[in-house]
Chain A
Amino acid sequence: MTLTATRTRWLQDNGVYVAVVALLLFNVLFTSNFLTMGNFRTQLIQAAPVLIVALGMALVIGTEGVDLSVGAVMALAAALIPLYLGYGPLPAILIALAVGLAAGGFNGFLVARVGIQPIVATLALLVAGRGLALVIANGQLVQLHDPAFLALGTDDFLGLPISVLVAGVLAILVAGLVNRTTFGRQLVAVGGNRRAAHLAGLPVSRVLIGVYAITGVLAAVAGVLATSRLAASDPADIGLLMELSAITAVVVGGTPLTGGKVRVLGTVMGVVLMQLVRATLIKHNLPDSIAQMIQAAIIVAAVYVARERR
């Protein structure tokens, strides 16, 4: 292998880390008030729900699928919270997570058993899910006052915001799932070559249903945390376009859309990168319009660099 090829390859694998480091350096040097705890807190809290959803998305994309319904599942979870908060925060949260599990399991069933393409199978829930959430909530934003529930979104534990801790723990769990368990190995095999995995006797359907179910639960977790932070259940707005942010972070982090590979740390870095880009642009007073166009350029550049080797 020539030197240039090695270097290109290295960049393909590590581009997202290079970009994150470069952007951090830039901010430390040129952005006032960047190195403050307050700023870090804000950035982390904003990034937490995206990361939680992106972790599930990375798993689905690893199976050569995609889940467009995650934003709608967040809205569903949000809509359920005020209905059951009267029984206490824990039952309300558990019901929201159970519905996320059911929604994800349903997606997985459609993909694995009925054989519908992931993009269409999950599109149906994207279209119906938010509508259903709005029907449940009567189209209304509901203010929440339960202090224990709101603590989730506002309080700290061990010096870190709870939502950030949850995101961090989930990232470690997902990384463990992918790299250390049979399920993880099966997942990668199913994504790499489903037919071969099937012939090798792997439980392809079970793996697929499991992956979509996990993604549904994670989306519900993100919905619960976002609701708690807002101190309101807002099914019309919560998780809007989340599917696109999550897919972007996963792909920018180096997980190929063609499946067969899941990069959990890359996904974390992808979320961090997109968050940093937005923060940098805002802090330098660039308007939203330019920020969006730059994000678009970064997505294309990242995917171009990391595009599948033939």
Chain B
Amino acid sequence: MTTTLASTRTKVLQRQGAAVALVVMVAVAWLVFPRFGSLDNVRDLALQGSFLAVIAIGMTFVIITGGIDLSVGSLYALGGVLAAYGSQWGFFTALLLPLAVCGLIGVINGLLIARTSMAPFIVTLASLLFARGLLLVITDEGATTYQIAPDSAFVELGRGTVLGFGYPVFIALVLALLGGLLLNRTNFGQNVFATGGAEQSAVLMGVPVARTKVLVYAMSGTLSGLAGALTAAYLQSGVTVIGVGTELDAISVVVIGGTLLTGGAGTVLGTMIGVGLRTVIQNIINQIGTLDSNFQSVVSGVFLLIVVVLQRILRR
């Protein structure tokens, strides 16, 4: 095997481009903004990123199968409301209600996509609307905001810390680790890659394509519900208006992390790096202070563009 230096370098850039960018960003921010490297700021960053990370892990699996899940933002909001609503019956109801309902909607997404030839885009677009509708029903058209009792054990899930880092940070890290193992070390992971790589051949090789699809959408729904529950625990209430556009944030960080939207390739680690990048960019813009906060989305959009163009050019 002879690999030239140039092609190795290209490969490194292609695979690790987002990681390199993250390191550069962090280094620059550290030097320029004295507050950036402070422990408080790092803890804030980690917490902010953790909610999106939980959602994006599920999205990574969906995108590797060649699909897309537009319903995650709505399910995130729905999960939060369900958690706050359920908290009046104790910790487990608060946690399990959002997981069950959002997971079920995920299963329905998966069944519709796997069993009919409907496009994932349309099916999950419909559940985006459906989940928002359901959320409005539960909150009496948005008029009711369910609060979580401050002494509830559930609040601890969002507010509790170890070494100053919030529980959601550790939950996101554990889920990322599990997600990585699931993707790269199990039969299910193989099936996910096979489904996205070449669906027809996968079917012929006996890969349970339909079951795999149902499972990844179920996972994506459940994780979105969990992210919502964690957010509700942190905010001590179920906020109805969150999650608009979150599906696009999740898709962006997955793509920035190197997962191909055509399916068949991707990593959970890349997605976590994508989340890190997004969170750091957001933080830098906040640190600049004088900069219009609307620049945040401009920078994110430009960044997404640069990454996908580079990915495309380097692949040639």
Contact = CB atoms under 8 A, between A and B. Distances in A.
B partners with A: yes
Interface of A: 66, 68, 110, 114-117, 119-121, 123-132, 134-135, 138-139, 244, 247-248, 251, 257-258, 287-293, 295-297, 299-300, 303-304, 307-308, 310
Given A135-B295, A296-B127, A300-B126, A289 B118 contact: no
Nearest to B300: A127
Nearest to A301: B126
A116 B309 contact: yes
B292 A139 contact: yes
**Interface size range on B against A:** 35 or more
Contacts of A244: 125, 128
B304 A127 contact: yes
Contact of A66 (B121, B248, B305): B121
Contacts of A135: 292, 294-295, 298
B136 interface: yes
Contacts, number: 131
A257 B120 CA distance: 11
B138 to A, nearest CB: 9
15 contacts: A110-B305, A120-B308, A123-B251, A124-B301, A125-B301, A127-B252, A128-B302, A131-B294, A131-B295, A134-B294, A135-B292, A135-B295, A247-B122, A297-B130, A303-B118
Contact of B118 (A114, A115, A288, A300): A300
Contacts of B116: 304, 307
A127 B121 CA distance: 18
Contact of A131 (B112, B141, B298): B298
Given A117-B262, A303-B122, A124 B302 contact: yes
B134 interface: yes
A135 B135 CA distance: 32
B308 A116 contact: yes
B122 A131 contact: no
A124 B133 contact: no
A297 B294 CA distance: 35
What DSSP secondary structure best describes chain B's contact surface? Answer: helix
Given A123-B252, A293-B133, A296-B133, A128 B127 contact: no
Interface in B39-58: none
Given A123-B248, A131-B297, 6 more contacts: A127-B304, A128-B298, A130-B297, A289-B136, A293-B134, A296-B126
A290 B304 contact: no
**Closest 7 CB pairs between A and B?**
A128-B301, A131-B297, A289-B136, A292-B133, A127-B301, A293-B133, A134-B294
Contacts of B302: 124, 128
Interface in B70-124: 112, 116-119, 121-123
Interface in B229-272: 248, 251-252, 255, 261-262
A291 to B, nearest CB: 7
Given A123-B304, A135-B294, A289 B133 contact: yes
Contacts of A304: 116, 118
Contacts of A308: 117
Contact of B136 (A126, A247, A257, A292): A292
A255 B119 CA distance: 13
A260 B117 CA distance: 17
B132 interface: yes
A115 B119 CA distance: 22
Contact of A132 (B141, B298, B309): B298
A289 B129 CA distance: 9
Contact of B300 (A128, A134, A258, A300): A128
Given A119-B68, A120-B308, A134-B294, A300 B123 contact: yes
A288 B251 contact: no
A68 B121 CA distance: 12
Contact of A299 (B129, B294, B312): B129
A287 B136 CA distance: 9
Contacts of A291: 133
A127 B256 CA distance: 14
Contacts of B203: none
B255 A120 contact: yes
Contacts of A307: 116-118
Contacts of A126: 248, 301
Nearest to A121: B308
A244 B116 CA distance: 21
A94 B119 CA distance: 37
B68 A288 contact: no
A288 B141 CA distance: 7
B141 A257 contact: no
Contacts of A128: 297-298, 300-302, 305
B65 to A, nearest CB: 15
Contacts of B304: 120, 123-124, 127
Given A307-B116, A307-B117, A287 B129 contact: no
B261 A290 contact: no
A251 B121 CA distance: 11
A300 B130 CA distance: 11
A68 B304 CA distance: 14
Contacts of B252: 123, 127
Contact of B130 (A116, A247, A287, A296): A296
Nearest to A106: B305
Given A119-B261, A124-B305, A128-B297, A290 B133 contact: yes
Contacts of A300: 112, 118, 122-123, 126
Contacts of A258: 119
Please indicate which of the listed interface residues A247, A287, A303 has the most CB atoms of chain B within 10 Å of its own CB.
Answer: A303
B279 interface: no
Contacts of B123: 300, 303
